[in-house]
Structures are given as C-alpha cells and as structure tokens.
Amino acid sequence: MNFTLRHYLVENKRRVIGVAIALLVVFLASWLLNYLTPEFADDLKYKFFQVPGMHSLTVKSFTDVIYSQSYDHFLHNGRSLVHSLVQLFSGVWGKKVFNYFNAAMFMLFIYLLARFMGKVSALNIVFISSLILFFFPDFKGTMLWMSGSVNYLWTSVAICLVLICLPKLQDRTRRNSDWFLFLLGMIAGWSHEGISIPLAMCFGYMFWQNRRNILYSSAFPLMLGFIGGTFVCCISPGEFYRLLHPSYGGGEVAVFERLSNGVAILLHLRIFKLLIVALVAKMIIERRNALLWLKQFYKKYQLFCNAIVCSFPILLLCGIDEIRVGYSIELYSFLLVLSIARGIKWEVKAFKAIVSLFGLAFYCYTLSFSLPNYRTYIDMKKQLESHNSSIILYDINISPKIVKNYIIRPIPSSAISSKRAVCKRYALLYGYDRLVFMPRKAYADIMNNEFITDLKKQGEYALNIINLNESQLGKTPYLLYEIDGYTAEKSIREDGYQFLFLNDQWWLFVHRENNIDVPSQIIMKKGL
C-alpha cells in the first residue's frame, strides 16, 4: 500500500467504513433475494447441451459448456461469453454458487453507479440501490433470474467500467501496455448486443469526430475492442436466426406491429420518464434560455445522449414485446440522471434518506412474498425427488401486483401440459418418463368432485363429465391449447380427458371425443 492510499484511508476513515458497511448490506440483501429466487425457464434449458440431438444430455464440465456453446453460437445468438457463464453456473457450478457471484456483481454495479454521482458515500449507495429497486425495468428478470442477470446486470457492470475508464484514457497518450484494454473492451462489447450496439455506434461517431486525438490516446484500444466485440456478437449465424425467427419477433412481423410493440414498452419505461423530469427540473432551477441550455447540456453529456437515441431503433424495430427490450434506454438514462445529480449541491440529505427508507421498507415487503414462493419451490423439489407421483402439486401464492416484478414463480401456469419444455426438462433432470404440475387446490377439487359437481350445474357446457381418479389423471396425455378469453383456438381429435390451467382465476376442464372441436367442449369455473 503506497503512502497516498494510506493517507487517504486515514483522512477518510469514517467515510470508508460507512461505504464498506453499506456495500456489505447491499451484498447481503441481494444475496437473500437471489437465494429466494428459483431457477426458471432458460436456467433449466442451459443445464442441457444446446446441440441438435443432445438436448436430453446434461452438461457436467467446462469442456461440455464450450462444446455446447459452439453450437449455440450458430443456432441461438452471438452472446457466447455470457451464455457460457450461464451454462457454467446452471449446469456445472450450481445455483448456490451463482447466488454469491450475482450478489457481488450487484454490489459492484451499485458502487460503479455511485462513481457517476461523484462522491461514493454510504447514503449514495443505499439511495442508488433504492432507485434501482423502484425504477429498473423487470427487476426480477435483469437482476435476479440467472439467465437474465448474466445478460443484463453483468453486461451493465462491464459497460460502466468502460465508461468510467474512458475519460481518463482519452487524456493520456497511448503506450504499448495499453493494448490490454482491447481485451476489456472486447469482453464488454461481446456481451449483449441490445446494450452494446448503441454505445459502439457512439464510439464510432466519437472516433470520426476526433480521430486524430483518439487514435494516439489510450482510449483507442478500449474503443476498438468494444466495437470489435459488438461486431463479433452481431455477425454470428445465431443472431441472424433470431432476426428471422417469428418467436423472437423476426420473420414476417409487420413494421407497424413492431412499432406498436416498441411504443407500448416505451410507455412502461420508468427511468426515461425520470430523466425527463430531472431535465425539466434542472432547467427550471438554473433559469436559463431553454434552447441554449439544451445545447450546452448535449455538448457536456453527448455520449450518454447519443447512446439513448441509438437505443430507440432497437426498441422500436426488434418486434419483441418484453419490457427488457427497453433496458438499454433505461441504463443510459440512469447513468445520465446520476451524472446530472453530480452537479447538484445537496444541501439537505433528507430526500435521499427518505427514498432510502422507502427502499428498505419495500424490500422487506417484497421478502414477505418471496419467502412463501420459495417454500413452494422447495416443496416441489421434494416431490420431484420422492418419485411418488408424476403429478407435482404446488400452491398458488397470489401476490400484489406491486411486487410481481420482483418474484419469479417456480412453475408457469402452462406447466399443466407434459409437452411443455419446463415439464420435459424437469422430467429429464429427475428421471421421470413424463411430468405435469398442477395447482394443489385444483387437484383436490377434482379428487373431491366439488369442481365437477359445480360444472354440472352450468347447463349446456357440462358435457358428459365423469369422475377421474388419480391413476386416470396420471395416465392422461396432458396437452396445452392456446386460450383467448373463452375460446380455444385449437382443436383435438383424440379420445380422453383434458385438464387445463389458464391463470390464477380460471380453471378449464375439457371433455374431448373423436372429431369434436374443443371450442364447444370448454367448461369453466372462476375463483380459487
């Protein structure tokens, strides 16, 4: 430890201890949420080889992951680095190890964001954590879910590191040792194309504007590596597959439909709205000519402004209707909000303290619903390990809408179908020929005939209902049909009986016969 660092620690002992305690609290809080979040969707998918003909085989080593991702690069997308990490955690190291790594990455993310505010203090750390909890898009899908966290949170950490290093490197003459920065840039760019493309475009524009100075600065290897990593990610055959495949919003999806999806997501973005409010407030406080102020503001924060603008085409044209598509806009908007706050003299710390207290209270409130959700997950795993039945029962933990953005349910409603991917993967993992997941109350109603008795009273919809016992349910080929309101859009032409679970309010029981379409055979009961 050199004298300068030792002197700084002595002079700022209280602040350093406060920051360390705040970061430790953030780490523990994040770890607890990660611990209570079950594996879901792609987390199960990446336990298996992503190789045609080998989807039923689990990965067990690092070499398995490399082999699997060599195919994933050609068949899925170009995020080979982040998906290799996902597959390592999911298939080799396990969720428990991931919980610690993800909590550490979240803590690092908060620390780096505090750097954008200028002063890293304990209050700023808790304040920023609260803002992320309240405003970041799809918190559970980008900060907790294994596959989502590595794609979004970890990419954000790499992006923040690049942006923090860039200003200092631009003012320094390039040395031969600076070419290691090319690797950092390559890793950051070769992460998530939806986040890296806007920044890569901005780097290209910056270089064109100031190419003589940047070419000989230490920033050049970093920017070149970032642009190169983004390019490698975007030109993968799997990326073109995503662009053309309808399930990813590609193919023949109409431009109007893409735009309508993008506008709908844009209306749900919170941080971008917060940025607009912050800009208007700052403009009013400074009491200057609006046009002149905006020009000066753009000149000062050109990189962030351009990154936000370059993110809009991705949002509006990608055709995917998930809120995570707007993550790039939200990330760069948040960095800009924090940069604006850097110039504000906070004479009263009460505002930050109040926001932080609200964040803490909301976190505790969220935990009260995460705990029963986790207990349901553990109960399901015990049933899977016991091999007593191929019908796995679970409780439906209904939570308020305000906390649904923070809780991942272990099993989707559609898991009542044994042909769903989640059922097939759990069956392979636990050694079943076939699995279905059913709400415990719905199953009890069927066994007790209360459900069927109610249906018989509904007149024309009660078609030849008979009692089903557990052995019959276990042997029934469960299938899922797309339901739009009260109408089934598909039909079946097989003998047997079908139980469908649509959502928390509706159960559907279908009696099916040869050559009879499903829409005339649907029977419903509302309420739990």
Q: Is 481's pLDDT higher than 80?
A: no
Q: What's the mean pLDDT in 376-397?
A: 85
Provide the token pair at 285: 């406080």
CA distance 14 to 356: 20
At 123 the pLDDT is 86
Question: How large is the angle between the packed helices 193-209 and 146-170, nearest 10 degrees?
Answer: 10
**What is the DSSP code string of 122-137?**
HHHHHHHHHHHHHHST
453 Cβ contact partners less than 8 Å away, ≥ 6 residues apart = none
* Choice between 289 and 480, residue whose per-residue pLDDT is larger: 289
Quote the mean pLDDT of the chain. Answer: 75
pTM of the model: 0.81
Q: What's the mean pLDDT in 323-335?
A: 86
CA distance 92 to 454: 49
The 10s digit of each residue's pLDDT in 204-235 is 988 888 888 888 888 888 999 999 999 988 88
Q: Is 452's pLDDT higher than 70?
A: no
Q: Is 146's pLDDT higher than 80?
A: yes
Q: What's the mean pLDDT in 379-397?
A: 84
**Cα radius of gyration (the chain):** 26
At 506 the pLDDT is 38
Q: What's at 418, amino acid-wise?
A: S
Q: Is 100's pLDDT higher than 90?
A: yes
Provide the token pair at 343: 């110039």
pLDDT grade, residue 479 (50/70/90)? very low
* Choice between 424 and 420, residue whose per-residue pLDDT is larger: 424
Identify the weakest region by mean pLDDT among 67-76, 254-263, 456-465, 490-499: 490-499
Q: Is 135's pLDDT higher than 80?
A: yes
Q: Is 303's pLDDT higher than 80?
A: yes
499: number of CA atoms within 13 Å, CB side? Answer: 29
Other C-beta atoms within 10 Å of 487: how many?
10
Q: What's the mean pLDDT in 146-150?
A: 90
289: number of CA atoms within 13 Å, CB side? Answer: 4
* Choice between 315 and 457, residue whose per-residue pLDDT is larger: 315
Whole-number Cα distances in Å, 19 to 3, 13, 24, 26, 101: 21, 10, 9, 10, 20
pLDDT grade, residue 490 (50/70/90)? very low
- Dihedral over Cα of 391, 392, 398, 403: its sign: negative
497, 423 Cβ separation under 8 angstroms: no
CA distance 320 to 329: 15
Q: How far is CA 36 from the centre of its chain?
A: 16
66 Cβ contact partners less than 8 Å away, ≥ 6 residues apart = 84
At 150 the pLDDT is 92
Q: What's the mean pLDDT in 4-33?
A: 81
At 96 the pLDDT is 92
Backbone region of residue 515 per phi and psi (left: phi > 0; alpha: psi in -120 to 50; beta: other values): left
Helix (H, G, I), strand (E, B) or coil at 466: coil
59, 441 Cβ separation under 8 angstroms: no
* Choice between 513 and 326, residue whose per-residue pLDDT is larger: 326
Q: Is 111's pLDDT higher than 90?
A: yes
CA distance 220 to 197: 17
At 526 the pLDDT is 35
Identify the weakest region by mean pLDDT among 53-67, 120-134, 248-262: 248-262
Whole-number Cα distances in Å, 136 to 242, 271, 371, 413: 25, 7, 22, 26
Burial readout 467-481 (b: 16 or more C-beta within 10 A, e: otherwise) = ebeeeebeebebbbb
Q: What's the mean pLDDT in 485-501?
A: 34
pLDDT grade, residue 242 (50/70/90)? low
Among the residues of 287-418, which ranges form H helices? 290-300, 302-317, 327-342, 350-386
Block residue for tokens 């940025």 = 275
Identify the weakest region by mean pLDDT among 28-37, 60-69, 240-249, 389-398: 240-249
369, 399 Cβ separation under 8 angstroms: yes
| Pairing status of strand 522-526 against strand 506-512 | antiparallel
Helix%, strand%, coil% for the chain, nearest 5:
65, 5, 25
Q: What's at 374, amino acid-wise?
A: Y
